[in-house]
Amino acid sequence: EAGVVQSPRYKIIEKKQPVAFWCNPISGHNTLYWYLQNLGQGPELLIRYENEEAVDDSQLPKDRFSAERLKGVDSTLKIQPAELGDSAVYLCASSLISGGYGNEQFFGPGTRLTVL
């Protein structure tokens, strides 16, 4: 079974440019998460989807970040415009259900963004 797929794996852009990250979760997983991982830190949740619905986007900086999961499968996270401080790894994860009995989240390899 394929794991969580993310692309691109690496992205280098100039500040003020837009950038988008794509995630394909494990087949059948209805819950999808986007995390931000700064250097030397643990991941922090940006947004959680249940199917197409963003049920927790409280940590998403909405002035420049947006996300979508139109058909309840793939998801795209966008930054426009990017700032120097956005340089980090963006992780996507998925799980069968949201919450419950210590549900396991499966992580993709991440996209490493460098903003120059």
Partner 1 sequence: AQSVTQLGSHVSVSEGALVLLRCNYSSSVPPYLFWYVQYPNQGLQLLLKYTSAATLVKGINGFEAEFKKSETSFHLTKPSAHMSDAAEYFCAVSDRSGGSNYKLTFGKGTLLTVNP
- The residues of the shown chain that bind partner 1, judged by CB under 8 A, are 3-4, 9, 31, 40-45, 48, 56, 91, 93, 95, 98-110, 112
If the CB atoms of residues 41 and 80 are measured against partner 1, the closer one turns out to be 41
How far is it, in rounded angstroms, from Cα 12 to Cα 27? 29
If the CB atoms of residues 75 and 95 are measured against partner 1, the closer one turns out to be 95
How far is it, in rounded angstroms, from Cα 88 to Cα 110? 10
If the CB atoms of residues 14 and 40 are measured against partner 1, the closer one turns out to be 40
Minimum distance from CB of 45 to partner 1 (Å)? 6
Minimum distance from CB of 66 to partner 1 (Å)? 21
Minimum distance from CB of 48 to partner 1 (Å)? 7
